[in-house]
């Protein structure tokens, strides 16, 4: 099929060398699979090497690490186990010939190759929403960066992007970048949040107070103006329906605008082979082995759904590897029946979408709006969990027992006031 | 002795003129541009169409009518000689009301007068065969197969590279501050980088052509900017196969729906007249973009969700007094040639404009042009990983491993592609490293993520190849630097 490019042979190809991919490759190797990991960066670790702040690994390694430390631990495990990997290797295409025959075509500085594989674990992460996607108009000038790009500039390349900064979005990434800029001596003039509540984890919202950074809730940036460089940004207040309030506009002078308006799973390579996408997560519809609607294609990490903790990402990588092993050994992921999990009251998104009842699973979900003194309920199996507070920023992770799942025809997850 | 020619403005008109004049051995051609790179003015932001030539009324706008169809024919050759990205996909001017057919008949008749081949009116059935996604309101259309699309800045780059290969000298980042005229003859051009002697001065200064003309004492026209705004969507959004126009109104060709050559659905432009002093106002506006959205929806009802937009932008067209192109040797100043008011269809007309200027030099200035015995019409495009098969990638990495290394993941642009682009930038005299210069040559940063992954890497490559600190690399020339210093600069207080 590719007579003129070198063909390699593996049980499983892992696409992406971030925490999900590395954890998947490690687990696959431990399970005895012949595994190849491909990553397009020059280094392993995905985004973690630029996340120089602490807060990683409390669940997965039971100790607090920085991003580079977290990445290094997984990378070391890969090396110790002899997991094969290629960096600077970009996947051009996944071809799905049949359930157990897939070809991953990639290019690298040593050339283009095809890899025959029986299963693929897709862990290619997410991308950030940019200024155009959130409807900002005006001039196209230097000084407008996504938070991740600013972080790359500062913490990989050592470039200071600007002096006076406005940040769009009070999610974790936006808040961490607010602190990062402040620590380098920049003036963070405002964090602008569309919703009436902050978007990040409580431990990160404190940053604003620590560094005396103004937070504008129920506001949005609508326009950026400048000649070569950002000179000022226009902010407007919104009402409870997120409609702009006429006459509430004001300008903030700044030379830098950082967009931290959320992440979108990278799924184009998957949709190209017909993988079904859940519009609410932006990632694939998966079963409890994190297998997509195309048999033998597994997905983990932020390509599945946007996680708040790297620990969950790594956990998903392991789960996908276990799925790949089962798929290869049994010629598929089988189940007597699939129990569909549905979103109920105040659940914005969840995964996995189908459960077999053959094993215990973690459900990952996010609420649509913050609430206090609530219960997470799955009425079909009489499950109830008390929670003092829920926020869209914090992912909920719920363990379900195999026997609980087996009892049900379907499951509905809801978060309701007690 | 050689006749010295100074062309002011390295847009599509100026570059095309430079290329055509580079054919003659008795001319010494200088191409002067105030921007850091070529094609960054009017040529940068437009609908990128090679129009059909049916649109311009030969009685009201004879120059436009004549040069548009001639330009279209020339482009069919130029894109091949210069390896300019292009597609000849034809246009449909769509009728949604019975009375629209009267206008389509008028366009058909006008097209025939202008010499446009192969046009005809198609009925509803054929229309939906040509374009199944059109609005169900459509009842017929004028079908113009010779319409096409090109990359406008890649075209200016290709033409300039070819002109330079044939001996044209470029002066980038050189702003014209005066025209020296003695005894009714031009003597040269005063610039921010000194005096450039010239026997012939060609004013192809786009939006600033009126200001340049006044420097030579010619003030019978004024240029005002007409702004048009555009939306571009992600490449997984389905778009039409043809260029779709609504039936035009007396003031506008209307909002176009098209799949541009990189495969992205694009809609626009609207038309907003700005005062003459707003020649730098390229800001997009809410109102303008909404107007485009509403207009496009009438032809193409399945517009994607707003979250599928990857870019919005605005362009300015130079609208001259009178509305027709002003292409003439001015009698009161010998040697001064205006190429002014090159509004739509200026991109289409550019090769014909260039030939017209050569004609004017012979006919009106009486300079006999002698063709070079060896003039090279060809220019090779740089490598593009996204156009290579995996086998071709393996050939390329044998020459240089960087051809196998992807930098821009949305568009599969390799490090090798980018290094070639930088080499070509230097070849035409680009002095200030900018991400936009790389973008227009490689398509890096124009995909789904809009450069948030690859821009830092491109900055690193530019910094290395130009030997500057990375934060001094610019987005689009001086004043748009990527950063203010290294990460400790503010703490040290020396940024």
Q: What is the pTM of this model?
A: 0.96
Nearest to A110 among B401, B414, B486 (CB): B401
CA-CA distance, B225 to B274, in Å (whole number)? 5
Whether the Cβ atoms of residue B44 and residue B152 lie closer than 8 Å to each other: yes
* Pairing of the two strands B200-203 and B336-340: parallel
Cross-strand pairs, A38: A15, A86
CA-CA distance, A258 to A192, in Å (whole number)?
10
List CB contacts (< 8 A) between B312 and chain A. 132, 137
- Chain A contact for B387, CB < 8 A? no
Give a yes or no: residue B433 inside a domain: yes
Selected for mutation to probe chain A from B394, B447, B487, B494 (highest A CB count within 10 Å) is B487
Number of other CB atoms surrounding residue A80 within 10 Å = 10
Rounded percentage of chain B residues whose pLDDT exceeds 90:
98
Residues 149-178 of B with CB under 8 A from A: none
Residues A375-407 as b or e (16 or more Cβ within 10 Å = b):
ebbbebbebeeebeebbbbbbbbeebeeebbee
Q: Residues of B with CB below 8 A from A225's CB?
A: 283
Q: Does B452 touch chain A (CB under 8 A)?
A: yes
> Considering only CB atoms, which chain B residues are within 8 Å of A268?
236, 448
Interface probe for A, chosen from B409, B418, B440, B460 (most Cβ of A below 10 Å), is B409
| CA distance, residue B455 to nearest chain A CA (Å) | 8
Residues of chain B neighbouring A223 (CB-CB closer than 8 A): 283
SS3 letters across B427-465? HCCCCCCEHHHHHHHHCCCCCCCCCCCCHHHHHHHHHHH
CA A279, A283, A287, A291 dihedral sign is positive
The answer to whether A107 touches B399, Cβ cutoff 8 Å, is no
Contact between B325 and B342 under an 8 Å Cβ cutoff? The reply is: yes
> Domain limits at B448?
385-489
DSSP B103-130: HHHHHHHHHHHHT--S-EEEEHHHHHHH
A277 touches chain B (CB under 8 A): no
* Residue at B194 is within a domain: no
Of A265, A314, A257, the C-alpha closest to A292 is A265
Q: Which of residues 33-72 of B touch A (CB under 8 A)?
A: none
Closest residue by Cα to residue B39 from B193, B127, B152, B136: B152
Q: How far is CA B346 from the centre of its chain?
A: 9
Which candidate in A40, A87, A112, A234 is best for mutational testing of the B interface (most B CBs within 10 A)?
A112
Task: Note whether B481 contacts A142, CB cutoff 8 Å.
Answer: yes
**What is the DSSP code (8-state) at residue B248?**
P
3-state DSSP assignment of residue B237? coil
User: In chain A, whose CA is at the least distance from the CA of B390?
Assistant: A112
Catalytic residue numbers of B read: 51
C-alpha B78/C-alpha B83 separation (Å) is 8
What's the confidence (pLDDT) of residue A203?
Answer: 86
Establish if B489 touches chain A: CB-CB under 8 angstroms: yes
A 56-75 → B contacts, CB under 8 A: none
- Which mean pLDDT values do the consecutive 10-residue runs of chain A (418 residues) have? 82 98 98 98 96 93 96 98 98 93 97 97 98 97 98 98 98 95 98 95 91 97 97 98 97 98 96 97 97 98 96 97 97 90 97 96 96 96 94 93 93 95
DSSP 8-state class, residue A102? E
Residue B460 is nearest to which of A111, A114, A157, comparing CB atoms?
Answer: A157
d(CA B434, CA B382): 18
If you ran DSSP here, which 8-state letter would residue A238 be given? Answer: B
Which B residues, 409 through 428, put their C-beta within 8 Å of a C-beta on chain A? 409, 412, 414
> Is position B308 within any domain?
no
Spatial separation of the C-alpha atoms in residues A204 and A211, rounded to whole Å: 12
Q: Which of A2, A106, A157 is best to mutate for the B interface (most B CBs within 10 A)? A: A157
A362-to-A312, B100, B183, B426 alpha-carbon distances in Å: 10, 61, 88, 56
Judge whether A161 is closer than 8 Å to chain B, CB to CB. Answer: yes
B394 part of a folded domain: yes
Residue corresponding to tokens 């437009």: B46
pLDDT at A335: 85
User: What is the total count of domains within chain B?
Assistant: 1
* pLDDT value for B250: 75
With beta carbons under 8 A apart, name residues in chain B contacting A185. Answer: 490-491, 493
3-state secondary structure A345-387: CCCCEEECCEECCCCCEEEEEECCCCEEEEEEEEHHHCEEEEE
What does CATH list as the number for A1-128+262-334? 3.50.50.60
B417, B368, B401, B189: which is closest to A111 by C-alpha? Answer: B401
* A7-38 CB burial, b ≥16 within 10 A, e <16: ebebbbbbbbbbbbbbbbbbbbbbbebebbbb
Minimal C-alpha gap between A287 and chain B (Å): 26
Can you tell me the distance from the alpha carbon of A74 to that of B145, in angstroms, rounded to the nearest whole number?
A: 58
Nearest to A141 by CA among A250, A260, A231, A261: A231
Q: Which residue stretches of chain B have pLDDT < 70?
A: none
Tell which residue, B296, B255, B315, has the closest CA to residue B39.
B315
Q: Which of A112, A163, A222 sits opposite B390 (nearest CB)?
A: A112
Domain annotation covers residue B426:
yes
Alpha helices in B204-345 (DSSP H): 209-215, 286-299
Ordered by start, the domain boundaries in chain A are 1-128+262-334, 130-261, 337-417
Determine contact: B313 vs chain A, CB below 8 A.
Answer: yes
Residue of A nearest to B411 (CA): A92
- Running DSSP on this structure, what letter comes out for residue B362? H
- Rounded Cα distance between A176 and A51, Å, is 9
**Residue written as token pair 């610039």:** B191
Other Cβ atoms less than 10 A from the Cβ of B426: the count is 13
CATH class, range A337-417: mainly beta
The tokens for A298 are 């597994």
Alpha-carbon distances of A39 from A51, A85, A91, A260, rounded to whole Å: 18, 8, 8, 24
Chain B residues touching A156 at Cβ < 8 A: 456
- Residue whose C-alpha is closest to residue B265's, from B277, B256, B254: B256
Q: Mutate which of A113, A159, A302 to test chain B, going by most B C-beta atoms within 10 A? A: A159
pLDDT at residue A1, rounded to an integer: 52
Pick A90's closest partner by Cβ from B406, B490, B491. Answer: B406
Q: Which candidate, B151, B361, B186, places its Cα nearest to that of B264? A: B151
3-class DSSP state for residue A168?
strand
The A residues from 349 to 408 touching B (CB cutoff 8 Å) are none
- What is the token pair recorded at B36? 């850091």
ipTM field: 0.96
Q: Does A222 touch chain B (CB under 8 A)?
A: yes
Q: What is the CA radius of gyration of chain B?
A: 23
CB contact under 8 A, B284 and A148: no
* Closest residue in chain A to residue B409, using alpha carbons only: A90
Helix A172-183 to helix A147-155 angle, to the nearest 10 degrees?
40
Does B467 contact chain A (CB < 8 Å)? Answer: no
Task: Using a CB–CB cutoff of 8 Å, tell me whether A5 touches chain B.
Answer: yes
Q: How big is the A-B interface in CB pairs under 8 Å?
A: 164
Which of chain B's residues have a Cβ under 8 Å away from the Cβ of A222?
286
* Contact residues for A209 (Cβ-Cβ < 8 A; gap 6+): none
Identify the pLDDT of residue A3.
55
User: Which residues have CB under 8 Å from B184's CB, separation 6+?
Assistant: B332, B333, B334
B397 in contact with A, Cβ within 8 Å:
yes
Treating both helix axes as pointing N-terminal to C-terminal, what angle do B435-442 and B415-427 enclose, rounded to 10 degrees?
110
Contacts of A255 in chain B (CB under 8 A): 484
Q: What is the pLDDT of residue B161?
A: 98
Q: What is the pLDDT of residues B420-442, one digit of tens each?
A: 999 999 999 999 999 999 999 99
Question: A130-261 has which CATH code?
Answer: 3.50.50.60
Rounded distance, CA B246 to CA B268, Å?
12
Is there a contact between B336 and B201 (Cβ–Cβ < 8 Å)?
Answer: yes
Say how many Å lie between the first and final Cα of chain A, rounded. Answer: 60
CA distance A197 to chain B (A): 22
Chain B residues within an 8 Å CB radius of A146: 452
């Amino acid at each position: 099929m590719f007579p003129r490019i070198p063909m390699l042979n593996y049980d499983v190809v892992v696409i992406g060398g971030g925490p999900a991919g590395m954890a998947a490759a490690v687990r696959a190797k431990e399970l005895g699979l012949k595994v190849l990991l491909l990553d397009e960066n020059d280094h392993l670790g995905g985004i973690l090497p630029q996340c120089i702040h602490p807060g990683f690994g409390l669940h997965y390694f039971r100790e607090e690490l920085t991003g580079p430390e977290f990445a290094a631990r997984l990378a070391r495990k890969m090396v110790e186990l002899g997991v094969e990997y290629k960096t600077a290797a970009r996947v051009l295409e996944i071809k799905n010939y049949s359930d157990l025959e897939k070809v991953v075509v990639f290019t690298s500085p040593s050339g283009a190759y095809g890899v025959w594989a029986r299963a693929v674990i897709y862990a290619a992460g997410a991308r950030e929403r940019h200024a155009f996607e959130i409807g900002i108009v005006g001039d196209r000038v230097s000084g407008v960066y996504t938070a991740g790009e600013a972080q790359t500039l500062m913490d990989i390349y050592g470039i200071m992007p600007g002096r006076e900064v406005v940040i769009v979005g009070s999610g974790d990434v936006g808040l961490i970048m607010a602190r990062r800029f402040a620590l380098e001596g920049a003036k963070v003039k405002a964090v602008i949040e569309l919703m009436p509540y902050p978007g990040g984890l409580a431990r990160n919202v404190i940053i604003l107070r620590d560094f005396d950074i103004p937070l504008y809730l129920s506001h949005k940036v609508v326009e950026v103006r400048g000649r070569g460089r950002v000179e000022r940004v226009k902010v407007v207040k919104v009402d409870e329906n997120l409609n702009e309030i006429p006459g509430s506009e004001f300008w903030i002078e700044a030379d830098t605008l950082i967009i931290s308006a959320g992440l979108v799973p990278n799924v184009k390579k998957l949709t190209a082979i017909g993988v079904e996408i859940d519009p609410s997560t932006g990632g694939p519809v998966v079963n409890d082995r994190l297998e997509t609607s195309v048999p033998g294609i597994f997905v983990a990490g932020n390509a599945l759904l946007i996680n708040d903790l790297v620990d969950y990402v790594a956990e998903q990588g392991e789960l996908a590897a276990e799925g790949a092993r089962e798929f290869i050994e049994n010629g598929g992921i089988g189940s007597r029946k699939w129990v569909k999990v549905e979103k109920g009251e105040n659940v914005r998104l969840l995964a996995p979408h189908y459960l077999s009842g053959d094993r215990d699973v973690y459900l990952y979900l996010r609420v649509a709006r913050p609430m206090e003194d609530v219960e997470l309920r799955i009425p079909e199996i009489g499950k109830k969990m008390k929670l003092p507070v829920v926020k869209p920023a914090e992912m909920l992770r719920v363990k379900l027992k195999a026997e609980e799942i087996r009892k049900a025809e379907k499951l509905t997850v809801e978060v309701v006031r007690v | 002795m050689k006749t010295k020619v100074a062309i002011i403005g390295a847009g599509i008109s100026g570059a095309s003129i430079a290329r055509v004049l580079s054919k003659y051995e008795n001319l010494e051609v200088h191409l002067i541009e105030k921007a850091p790179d070529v094609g960054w003015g009017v040529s940068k932001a437009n609908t990128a169409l090679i129009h059909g030539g049916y649109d311009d009324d030969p009685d009201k706008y004879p120059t436009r009518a004549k040069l548009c169809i001639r330009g279209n024919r020339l482009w069919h050759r130029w894109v091949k000689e210069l390896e300019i990205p292009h597609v000849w996909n034809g246009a449909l001017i769509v009728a949604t009301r019975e009375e629209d057919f009267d206008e389509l008949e008028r366009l058909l008749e006008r097209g025939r007068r202008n010499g446009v081949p192969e046009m005809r009116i198609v009925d509803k059935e054929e229309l939906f065969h040509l374009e199944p996604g059109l609005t169900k309101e459509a009842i017929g259309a004028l079908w113009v197969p010779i319409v096409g699309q090109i990359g406008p800045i890649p075209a200016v780059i290709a033409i300039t590279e070819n002109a330079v290969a044939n001996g044209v000298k470029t002066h980038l980042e050189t702003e014209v501050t005066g025209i020296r005229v003695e005894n009714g003859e031009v003597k040269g051009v005063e610039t921010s980088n000194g005096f450039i002697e010239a026997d012939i001065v060609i004013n192809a200064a786009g939006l600033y052509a009126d200001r340049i003309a006044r420097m030579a004492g010619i003030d019978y026209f004024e240029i005002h900017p007409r702004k048009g705004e555009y939306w571009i969507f992600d490449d997984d959004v389905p778009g039409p196969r043809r260029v779709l126009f609504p039936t035009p109104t007396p003031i506008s060709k209307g909002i176009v729906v098209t799949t541009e050559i990189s495969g992205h659905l694009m809609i626009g432009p609207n038309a907003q007249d700005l005062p003459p002093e707003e020649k730098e106002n390229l800001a997009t506006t809410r109102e303008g973009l909404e107007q485009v959205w509403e207009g496009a929806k009438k032809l193409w009802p399945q517009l994607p969700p707003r979250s599928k937009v990857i870019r919005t932008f605005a362009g300015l067209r130079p609208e001259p007094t009178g509305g027709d192109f002003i292409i003439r040797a001015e009698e009161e100043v010998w040697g001064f040639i205006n190429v002014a008011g090159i509004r739509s269809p200026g991109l289409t007309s550019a090769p014909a404009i260039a030939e017209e200027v050569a004609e004017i030099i012979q006919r009106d200035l009486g300079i006999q042009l002698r063709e070079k015995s060896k003039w090279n019409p060809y220019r090779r495009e740089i490598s593009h990983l996204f156009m290579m098969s995996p086998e071709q990638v393996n050939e390329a990495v044998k020459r240089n491993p960087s051809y196998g290394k992807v930098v821009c993941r949305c568009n599969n642009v390799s490090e090798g592609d980018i290094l070639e682009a930088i080499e070509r930038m230097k070849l035409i005299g680009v002095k200030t490293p900018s991400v936009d210069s790389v973008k227009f040559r490689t398509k890096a940063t124009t995909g789904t993520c809009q450069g948030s992954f690859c821009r830092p890497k491109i900055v690193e490559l530019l910094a290395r190849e130009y030997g500057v600190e990375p934060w001094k690399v610019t987005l689009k020339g001086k004043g748009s630097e990527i950063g203010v210093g290294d990460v400790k600069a503010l703490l040290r207080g020396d940024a």
